[in-house]
Amino acid sequence: MQILRGALRIVSLPFTLPAFALQRARGASSARARSAERARFDTRKWNAELLKRVEWRRLEEICAAYFEARGFATQVTGSRPDGGADIALCAVGSAAPSILVHCKAWDAYRVGIKALRELRAAMVAAGMSEGVLVTSGRFTHDAVAFASKENIHLIDGAALLGKLAELPPEKSLALLKLATQGDFLTPTCPKCATKMTSRKSTSGGRMYWGCRNYPACKQTFSETLG
């Protein structure tokens, strides 16, 4: 009986070790890919390429910290259906928030009117008359026209870089360190709050971001998104 058990252990090794080795190899390969991607741009100063690559959750953290650096008190809640945060701003000397901020990470497509309508609905629900939509990308003409009628201020990627540059150097540097610490490239799953993993579709070979908790969580992002 002991011989049989020993033989079964030996037979099982070729099947268990390669699987474990493959998992480690994939993790190492992913880490190398992130390091290589990080090395492609300058993380020592704010620039358009860096801002474009910051994942969506980190962008929200940067925006909240930016407004705090401007003297606002912030209240952050993750109440949006897409997993994004509502960032409520309280002006100096005010006890109640009066401005609502939404953030949109970089996308190959311009941010359109849908995001503005979502922000406007959230403003009404929160009883606020002023809003701000921040994106590291750009806005469509329809979005600009809608915002002008609804007391919503738009900050695109170029404008955000300008505002960061206007901060005192020590505050701008602190925000840069916040932006680039750890893994700021891999998107966060909005449902599970964990870093996602790069996958390839079985049909067509398309690369995409998938939740590590699949199949319990089937959240995905295109790899063109941050």
pLDDT of 61 reads: 97
Distance separating alpha carbons of residues 171 and 62, to the nearest angstrom: 12
**Nearest Cα residue to 33 out of 220, 207, 219:** 207
What gap in Å lies between CA 66 and CA 189, rounded to an integer?
23
Confidence (pLDDT) at 68: 97
pLDDT tens profile 46-82: 999 999 999 999 999 999 999 999 999 999 987 787 8
Burial class of residue 146 in the structure, from the number of CB atoms within 10 Å of its CB (0-12 exposed, 13-18 middle, 19+ buried): buried
Q: Which residue has the higher pLDDT, 206 or 15?
A: 206
